[in-house]
């Protein structure tokens, strides 16, 4: 990380939370305060949509805050909403909104009995094909379906955009297969949980140049905070845990994962230096 000027002391590491939901209703009472706290703590991030209203909310947040970016998409829980008009709106946002850096989160979740497997597949494939067309990163939610997801993605191997495997708890062998498709692998707060073996194995298995970290806030708080609302300010806890697993300094993990996020989402890497300067708020509204 950049050194401070003489006498000013070192500049704190900058972190990039690759997957957060500041657009969620659990932040309705203090959303702006949390966004400003992120800037003070040198935390950038992607605010991820999971349906159409939350995607629009993510865009509006990103318009206001220089250190926040948006992803727009439809989660498997809301797969029934992924009709043609919704896909047209997602495409308009992607093409017209400069702060939209990805599509998602979308995917397959076999722990949701209320949404059929076929409906989930249709919603995923529609968003996958959109991502292939516009070449925007695709943020993947996968639960109990890593093999099935690989089978679908492999059909599009020649036209895939960047992939971000969100909240990964896949086996090291499965991770290797995703890496062959060019995926970045994001490790979340479950890596801090006692007895959470798979996330810890995932954190150890990912090559340094493909590793991302996330909070998934307000969900999945770290160990010691279970039952509380999670916030992006816990990204340092995730990073410190990953650093212990990988035998690297937290500052090294912060820098590497920040640079990786810039690559994954197509952002100039100098954002690590200038996102948190005074006057970081954007002025576009709407």
Work out the pLDDT band at 8, boundaries 50, 70, 90.
very low
Between the alpha carbon of residue 40 and those of residues 4, 8, 73, 120, 130, the distances in Å are 16, 17, 29, 39, 36
Mean pLDDT (whole number) for 67-83: 97
Average pLDDT, the chain: 92
Q: Which domains are delineated in the chain?
A: 16-274 (3.20.20.140)
Question: What whole-number distance in Å separates Cα of residue 30 and Cα of residue 20?
Answer: 15
Work out the pLDDT band at 5, boundaries 50, 70, 90.
very low
User: Which pLDDT does position 204 carry in this prediction?
Assistant: 97
Question: What whole-number distance in Å separates Cα of residue 117 and Cα of residue 34?
Answer: 36
pLDDT digits (tens, 9 = 90+) for 9-56: 456 789 999 999 999 999 999 999 999 999 999 999 999 999 999 999
Place of tokens 């590497």: 256
Work out the pLDDT band at 1, boundaries 50, 70, 90.
very low
């Amino acid at each position: 990380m950049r050194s401070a000027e003489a006498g000013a002391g070192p500049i704190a590491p900058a972190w990039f939370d690759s997957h957060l939901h500041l657009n969620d209703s659990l932040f309705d009472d203090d959303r702006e305060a949390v966004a400003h706290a992120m800037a003070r703590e040198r935390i950038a991030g992607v605010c991820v949509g999971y349906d159409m209203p939350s995607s629009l909310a993510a865009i509006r947040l990103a318009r206001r805050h220089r250190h926040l970016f948006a992803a727009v998409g439809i989660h498997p829980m809301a797969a029934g909403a992924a009709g043609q008009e919704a896909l047209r709106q997602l495409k308009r946002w992607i093409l017209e909104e400069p702060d939209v850096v990805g599509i998602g989160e979308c995917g397959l979740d076999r722990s949701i009995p209320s949404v059929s497997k076929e409906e989930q597949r249709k919603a995923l494939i529609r968003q996958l094909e959109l991502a292939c067309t516009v070449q925007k990163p695709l943020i993947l939610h996968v639960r109990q379906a890593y093999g099935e997801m690989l089978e679908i993605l492999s059909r599009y191997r020649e036209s895939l955009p960047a992939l971000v495997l969100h909240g990964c708890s896949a086996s090291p062998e499965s991770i290797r297969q995703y890496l062959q498709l060019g995926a970045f692998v994001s490790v979340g707060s479950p890596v801090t949980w006692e007895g959470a073996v798979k996330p810890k194995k995932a954190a150890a298995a990912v090559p340094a140049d493909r590793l991302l970290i996330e909070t998934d806030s307000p969900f999945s708080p770290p160990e010691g905070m279970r039952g509380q609302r999670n916030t992006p300010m816990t990204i340092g806890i995730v990073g410190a845990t990953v650093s212990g697993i990988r035998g690297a300094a937290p500052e090294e993990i912060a820098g590497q994962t920040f640079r990786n996020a810039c690559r994954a989402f197509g952002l100039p890497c100098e954002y690590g230096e200038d996102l948190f300067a005074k006057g970081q708020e954007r002025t576009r509204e709407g």
